[in-house]
Amino acid sequence: MISGKFAITIHILTLLHKFPNDYLSSEFIAGSMNLNPVLVRKEIANLKAHHIVESKEGKNGGTKLAVNAAELTLKQIFEMTFETIGLGFAKNQPNPDCPVGKNINQHLENLYSEMNQKVGAQLEGISLEDFSNQF
Amino acid sequence: MISGKFAITIHILTLLHKFPNDYLSSEFIAGSMNLNPVLVRKEIANLKAHHIVESKEGKNGGTKLAVNAAELTLKQIFEMTFETIGLGFAKNQPNPDCPVGKNINQHLENLYSEMNQKVGAQLEGISLEDFSNQF
DNA sequence: CATACTGTAATAAAATATGTTACAAATTTA
DNA sequence: TAAATTTGTAACATATTTTATTACAGTATG
């Protein structure tokens, strides 16, 4: 999963932030985004692996935030769900006898790396609390 | 086509810049990137629509640059091939009765819009000539 | 012990991206 | 003027990636 992950994850986290005292069920969360609960649970599994949320199994179980929303940045969320932005690479092995084909991917990589630094700097300045408080 | 477009297009343009006096065939270009010539011709059609290249049909035909490579920026190429970057939206219509679901896409849009401004500024500072001269 | 959850695997369906074939139209050159 | 070569484009086929569904074992609650 690439597309969707970030949007689903930030949606989950925003809901958790809005209900800081409750364990929210994947069914409830999925209802807000009109999505299959299994997909929500998959993203929650990812968040748990990063110790961002904790969840409780069994009846009346669910998930709640395990970190301070003021200290969790969108950059961290981005890194947990997207890795990097970019505009694509040459898909097939380009012709190694052509100076352009041989090096194109490396130069694209350099370009995208700078893009990620810029975007990362932007996202680092926004906390989950900031984002959530817009609603 | 979303992914691939930018990478294919900049590859084409770099080759055209390296051979400024020749009409390069889609077959030749495709050979450098190990791609089907039809896909190359599709991107060339896009470039032609934006008056970035001109091409000649028939025997010994092909395509060549129609603009000054020092004045064509990566931002322009980005806009011709990618439109915008972003980290995805809620795919399904979110629940309109939920304050978060109702507004999530708008807030994501705002966030991505700022990302695009930052990336756009970066890409605006790099010309095709700059990029091509790295090879 | 019935109920309501999570966790996860397996599978299916849908969407998107990439690749191929085919051929008409254009131009060159012999 | 005929053969060769190339663009332009449509139609179709395949591959890949995303998203959705089903199923069920495990766990906590009351």
Q: Among B42, B83, B56, B103, which Cα is nearest to A134's?
A: B103
Please judge whether B108 and A10 are an interchain contact, meaning their C-beta atoms are less than 8 angstroms apart.
Answer: yes
Fold exhibited by the domain A5-133: Arc Repressor Mutant, subunit A (1.10.10)
Strand C: list positions under 7 Å from protein Cβ: 2-10, 16-22, 25-29
Q: How far apart are CA A44 and CA A67, in angstroms?
A: 14
pLDDT at A102: 93
With 80 as the cut, is the pLDDT of residue B2 above it? no
Burial class (CB in 10 A: 0-12, 13-18, 19+), A101: buried
Instruction: Tell me the nt nearest to A5, Cα to C1'.
Output: D18
pLDDT at B3: 64
Q: How close does chain B come to A24, measured CA to CA in Å?
A: 14
pLDDT at A4: 87
Q: Would you kindly state where each structural domain of chain B is located, as residue ranges?
A: 5-133
Q: How far apart are CA A76 and CA B70, in angstroms?
A: 37
CA to C1' distance (Å), from A38 to D24:
13
The reply to whether A91 Cβ lies less than 7 angstroms from strand C is yes
The reply to whether A60 Cβ lies less than 7 angstroms from strand C is yes
Q: How many contacts, defined by CB atoms under 8 Å, are there between A and B?
A: 141
Instruction: Tell me the nt nearest to A57, Cα to C1'.
Output: C6
- Rounded to an integer, the average pLDDT of B118-130 is 97
- pLDDT tens for B61-108 read 999 999 999 999 999 999 999 879 999 998 888 888 899 999 999 999
B90-111 per-residue burial string, b: 16 or more CB within 10 A, e: under 16: beeebbeebebbeebbebbeeb
Give start and end residues of each alpha helix (H) in B1-135. Answer: 5-18, 26-33, 37-49, 74-81, 99-124, 128-133
Interface test with A, best of B40, B100, B106, B129 (most A CBs within 10 A): B100
Residue of B nearest to A103 (CA): B135
Interface test with B, best of A98, A105, A116, A131 (most B CBs within 10 A): A98
- pLDDT tens for A69-117 read 999 999 999 999 988 999 999 888 888 889 999 999 999 999 999 999 9
State the average pLDDT for chain B: 94
CA atoms in the 13 A half-sphere facing the CB of A8: 28
Please judge whether A131 and B91 are an interchain contact, meaning their C-beta atoms are less than 8 angstroms apart.
Answer: no
pLDDT at A30: 96
Q: How far apart are CA A30 and CA A15, in angstroms?
A: 11
Q: Among A80, A72, A48, A46, which Cα is nearest to A61's?
A: A48
* In contact, B101 and B94? CB cutoff 8 Å: yes
Beta-bridge partner residues of A62: A56
CB distance from B15 to chain A under 8 Å?
Answer: yes
pLDDT at A124: 97
Find chain A residues with C-beta within 8 A of B118's C-beta: 118-119, 122
